[in-house]
Structure 1
Amino acid sequence: MKSLQNSCFFPHVFVFLELIMRFRFVFIFFLVVISTLTATEEESQSFGKMHSIVFVDDEGKIVKDGKETGIQFVGLELPGTRWARSGLEEDLQSRFLARELTLEDLEDLKYRVILYYKEKGSSLVRVMVPEQDVTDGILHIIVKETRVGEVKTKGNVWSSARFTRNTVGLKPGDKIDVNEINTDLAFLNRNPFKNTDVIFTPGQAANTTDIELVTIEEKPARVYGGVDNRGNKAIGNYRQFEGFYCGDFLGLDHVFSYQFTTSLPLKRMHAHAAYYEIPLPYRMSLVGFGGYSSLHTKDFSTFMDNTGINVQVSGRFHFPMFPWGKAVNDFSFGFDYKRTNNNVLFSEIPIIAKTATLSQFVLGYQFQDTRRDGWGLFNFELFISPAKWFTNQNKQDYQLLSPGALPRYFYFLTSWKKEFQLPHCMRIGLRLKGQYANQNLLPSEQFGLGGFDTVRGYREREINGDNGFLGNLEFKAPLISLFKGKILCSENVNFNTVNAKDALLLLAFVDYGFVNRHKKVEDADNTQYIVSIGPGLEYSISPYFQAAVYWGIRLKSTQFSSAPGGRINFSVVASF
């Protein structure tokens, strides 16, 4: 009897399986429909209309039977300006009040709050919806901003770990503002011998985050030497220079550098330049720089002798005003003092005359956002000379060096530089620069065009003016490593390591610039322009070798150069 039952059972099983296989697509369709309807029903489950949403920093602050209306924040200090906070409140109120709320709406609500904190620099935040009774139309949301646990440093071999920690300035229990941290890191990374980054890890205590400041650095001292053709006819086309750079001077994270430059032939120019930077608390810094040069040549158009002297002493006080994401905002003010009796370093027509003294206040602002899709580098400087404070600061001495120049003046200089990414690791580099003055200026303050840094293919500063504009457009091929024999994408290249890395860049450029004198000068071209095109090559073995060679093809003639024609501008620097 038992075997008979089994024999009757198996045929039914086979028939059932055959039916499933034959109508399997129908079964699958019904399963999908049922699961979709179930999910839709769950997701669209309504909690009713809310007339108030209350954000608190702790579950203990949830008030039952409250009479609040609108968007409320209890125990929370929202980041951002008053207008930004008002904008968040209005956005949440229009989206989530006086309408049926679903689970999907709650997720959207949490996302918008997290996004707001992230945009304001407080990305380390948790938003939770606790279990609660919402029949009274009040929804409570808990917002937990993580606090600082431990602050640790790593990798400081040459520089001070204490200085790194104090610059960031966070202590256990502090709120974490990512924008502020990025600004601190940008200040630390102004030192070219090190690069500091931050790593966030969960802290041991609840709702805390440990901060580790990781520094990669090299020996903070470098000696270098090089040669270029950035001279002129009076002192010689070629120059050689040598100097040193110290990134931890006196063990205090101070930066000190010195450079000695001579012309080739050696006797025509000797120049000394020095730079000193002292970092201060709160991301401020004090900078002093200056130079002295003596020039000897028989080619001067001279009123006295054939010896030219240039002296400069300058100071700047740098301070930040506000952070903006990963961008750096740097304000500065300072003072320049200069004495000169010639224009040799600034003109192809050399003049030596009586000594003239220049003094001016300087106000500056720099915005730097070097992210791939950032705004680039913007710089603005205002120079003001309001009074005659020193000897030889008068109209007569000024106009011997520059016709029409006056000791009271102002001018501003502004520039913008950015790289645009193209497919296949190619880039377009754009630089714009301009100057406007309300008076004719001394040669050292004029806007000069021609040469390695401005319009390539011409001599250095072939044309000068009080007002001017410069535009440089470069089409850059992908970087190539000759050591590795492969293409490097620029966003993946990091030279801030102690290991030598090489990069070859091929480019094509278009340079254009024009200048004009504020007040017309007799027997002179008061408005001039020059333009050039050509190829270029840059090669670096970081940090030991840098070379740049450009072949500029002139498209506009000047008093000193004919067009069409060409000139190679180059610079080679080796360091160790």
Structure 2
Amino acid sequence: MKKGFALGTAGVMVLIATAAWGQGVKFNIAGYQVEGNTLLPEAEVQQILSGYTGAGRGLEDVKAAAEALRKAYEQAGYPVVSIFPPEQAASGGNILLKVVEGKVKTVTIKGNQAYDEANIRASLPGIREGLAPNAPEIVSEIAMANENPAKQVAVNFQAGQAPGAIDTTINVVEDRPEKFIATFDNGGSKSTGVHRFSLGYQNANLFNRDHMVTAQVGSSTDFPSKSLNISAGYRIPFYGHGLSLDLIAAYSDTNSGSTIIPGGSMNFTGKGTIFGARLNQPLAAIGEYRHKLIYGFDYKDFDNRASTCVPGAPAVSCSGTITTQPVSVSYVAQHNTPGLQVGGSAMFAMNIPGGPNGNPGDYATSTTGWRANWNVWRFNAFVGIPLAADWQFRANAAAQLSDYKLVSGEQFGAGGASSVRGYTERAIAGDQGYSGNLELYTPELAALASLPSGYGMRGVFFYDAGQIYNRGPGAQPQRHISSVGAGLRFNVQRDLSARLDFGVAQDRLVSQTAGVGRERGDTYGQFAVNYSF
């Protein structure tokens, strides 16, 4: 549901009493006395009004002063304010301006069942009886509250009957806070099992404070003993401070994995263990432009076990593990309008050498060329455009830049159901790279297929491409893959979703790994089913 902030008043009113003043009368204005202001610093108010003082002033100057003060309130985020001079003698030198600040009189919450009134109010601390609502702060609070996957809120302000009174309505749309999530796909490898199954649990309202916990266990249905992925995430929103914290833990003994976390999904590669933390800081909205900063720290212990161990060799060769400890900062932005949805992110990550198997000596091997002080830039972008007759166009892009030869778990991968379809997951990987998808979605087909209400179905045509670049010896400098194809998207309300894609490889890919190689023209089908209950 779209995040909203509506005002029931038409901006700010400027009311000027003219009964005692003629339009052509000139008089001296020594200064202004302002009554009723509690939101702007007095020094700022007087500085604004000082430009409308002096001899030979008139009613138009008083109007201009009130308008300038109105704009100051609006720029400070308070659009519901009335400013007017009461009837008074203009010969006294000081002009009285009265300010009626709009403040919340009543708060009505509608549509909530699983989330009680205390919860809804806690997630919107800027909306309370007696407070003047600050528009940018309320917009940020709504955006943060709507990050909870089980509730969406929209706020509407209406002018009350008394002067300056604001009647507020908070509309809530809910999903189940507590649910299990089962997934089944064919995104695995031939060696550990192509078909994968996972079972997850999510509770989006622990302690009635919107704390969210997720946990997931996955394995292969082909070779259960060869594949195991376990992950957990915990999100804590700090509504009063406009921040949220994500804590992440994951373990994998397969070559690749993906897990659901409170902030979305996290992909990782290589056998090993990961612990992470993300501090999310939303920034002030600019119209429909929403953006935030994310500060991150990860501890990743990758298992890169070699087949042989040479005595005295560095840790990566003998113990089979290498540790990375990257700190990162990300900028994430999104702009949504009825005719265009666009967004993206940019992240810079820098490794902190140290920890077990993470010192410079552990990285310095003649066979890998890894360095402990690596850094990397990662980018993502998307655009969605609704077309005529309910067709839709979507495009996605991802890229990675680095001047270093990276451990496999930090490399950029291309190939798979969410990257280049028609190829296996991470069919190619390198220190740098990019991938992109162009998709054209058909109009809704559910009615055409005589499906019941609540069902959705669309077809999709796509073109995917990916390119990777490697640094140093021992690897191909660059590799490219691309595909064209078609697929189907299906859903039953929010409980069941499925996707099926058939990609036709456009580039030959030679690989020593079973099932990864492709000849031009090879077709490969990929599916995924998600069911929540």
Partner of 1:253: 210
Contact 1:154 1:212 in 2 (8 A): yes
CA distance in 2, matches of 1:256, 1:320: 21
SS of 2:389's equivalent? helix
**Structure 1 residue 291 and structure 2 residue 250: aligned?**
yes
Residues 232/181 of structure 1: CA separation in 2 closer, same or farther (3 Å cut): same
Q: CA deviation at 1:68?
A: 7.7
Q: CA deviation at 1:320?
A: 2.1
Matches within 5 A, 1:146-295: 146-170=102-126, 171-263=128-220, 264-280=222-238, 281-295=240-254
Q: CA deviation at 1:407?
A: 1.5
Partner of 1:13: none
CA RMSD of aligned residues (A): 4.4
Amino acid at match of 2:469: N
**Structure 1 residue 415 and structure 2 residue 380: aligned?**
yes
Amino acid at match of 2:129: P
**Structure 1 residue 378 and structure 2 residue 344: aligned?**
yes
Amino acid at match of 1:167: S
Count of matched residue pairs: 475
Partner of 1:563: 520
Matches within 5 A, 1:283-362: 283-295=242-254, 309-342=271-304, 354-362=320-328
Partner of 1:25: none
Residues 397/550 of structure 1: CA separation in 2 closer, same or farther (3 Å cut): farther
CA distance in 2, matches of 1:557, 1:319: 44
Which range moves more in the overlay, 405-414 or 204-213? 204-213
CA distance in 2, matches of 1:56, 1:372: 33
Contact 1:183 1:326 in 2 (8 A): no
| Structure richer in helix, relative to its length | 1
CA distance in 2, matches of 1:247, 1:359: 29
SS of 2:409's equivalent? helix
CA distance in 2, matches of 1:455, 1:329: 28
Contact 1:294 1:310 in 2 (8 A): yes
Partner of 1:531: 482
Which of the residues 445, 464, 468 maps onto 1:511? 464
Residues 200/480 of structure 1: CA separation in 2 closer, same or farther (3 Å cut): farther
Superposed CA offset, 1:46-96 (max 9, x none): xxxxxxxxx978869x99823489x999987999xxxxxx9x99xx99xxx
Amino acid at match of 2:343: L
Amino acid at match of 1:457: G
Superposed CA offset, 1:11-35 (max 9, x none): xxxxxxxxxxxxxxxxxxxxxxxxx
CA distance in 1, matches of 2:68, 2:395: 36
Partner of 1:455: 420
Contact 2:35 2:98 in 1 (8 A): no
Contact 2:340 2:386 in 1 (8 A): no
SS of 1:162's equivalent? helix
Amino acid at match of 1:520: G
Residues 342/236 of structure 1: CA separation in 2 closer, same or farther (3 Å cut): farther
Amino acid at match of 1:462: A
CA distance in 1, matches of 2:143, 2:165: 24
Partner of 1:542: 493
CA distance in 1, matches of 2:523, 2:319: 33
Q: CA deviation at 1:188?
A: 0.9
Superposed CA offset, 1:251-310 (max 9, x none): 3321111111102221111110111111113221111111112249xxxxxxxxxxx841
Partner of 1:391: 356
CA distance in 2, matches of 1:353, 1:417: 41
Partner of 1:347: none
Which range moves more in the overlay, 258-267 or 287-296? 287-296
CA distance in 2, matches of 1:242, 1:76: 57
Residues 422/500 of structure 1: CA separation in 2 closer, same or farther (3 Å cut): closer
Superposed CA offset, 1:294-340 (max 9, x none): 249xxxxxxxxxxx841111111112232323433222212101112
Structure-1-length-normalised TM-score = 0.71
Amino acid at match of 1:270: L
Structure-2-length-normalised TM-score = 0.76
CA distance in 2, matches of 1:180, 1:204: 25
Partner of 2:4: none
CA distance in 2, matches of 1:558, 1:294: 26
SS of 2:143's equivalent? helix
Amino acid at match of 2:368: P
Amino acid at match of 2:278: R
CA distance in 2, matches of 1:501, 1:343: 49
CA distance in 2, matches of 1:326, 1:394: 45
Amino acid at match of 1:424: A
Unmatched 5+ stretches in structure 1: 1-54, 80-85, 297-307, 345-350, 487-498
Amino acid at match of 2:174: E
**Structure 1 residue 502 and structure 2 residue 416: aligned?**
no
CA distance in 2, matches of 1:222, 1:269: 25
Partner of 1:445: 410
CA distance in 1, matches of 2:318, 2:503: 31
CA distance in 2, matches of 1:205, 1:440: 68
Contact 1:248 1:255 in 2 (8 A): yes
Unmatched 5+ stretches in structure 2: 1-12, 41-46, 256-269, 307-316, 511-516
Contact 1:159 1:253 in 2 (8 A): no
CA distance in 2, matches of 1:500, 1:288: 39
CA distance in 2, matches of 1:183, 1:335: 25
CA distance in 1, matches of 2:331, 2:200: 29
* Structure whose alpha-carbon radius of gyration is higher: 1
SS of 1:481's equivalent? coil
Contact 1:414 1:435 in 2 (8 A): yes
SS of 1:454's equivalent? coil
CA distance in 1, matches of 2:344, 2:491: 25
CA distance in 2, matches of 1:393, 1:277: 28
Contact 1:56 1:141 in 2 (8 A): no
Q: CA deviation at 1:174?
A: 2.8
Amino acid at match of 1:511: D
Amino acid at match of 1:271: N
Amino acid at match of 1:383: A
SS of 2:118's equivalent? helix
Amino acid at match of 1:360: P
Amino acid at match of 1:369: H
Partner of 1:15: none
Superposed CA offset, 1:84-120 (max 9, x none): xx9x99xx99xxxx9xx9xxxx9x9999999998788
Residues 484/454 of structure 1: CA separation in 2 closer, same or farther (3 Å cut): closer
Superposed CA offset, 1:364-400 (max 9, x none): 221122332456222122211133x212114565477
Residues 59/530 of structure 1: CA separation in 2 closer, same or farther (3 Å cut): farther
**Structure 1 residue 520 and structure 2 residue 472: aligned?**
yes
Q: CA deviation at 1:237?
A: 1.8
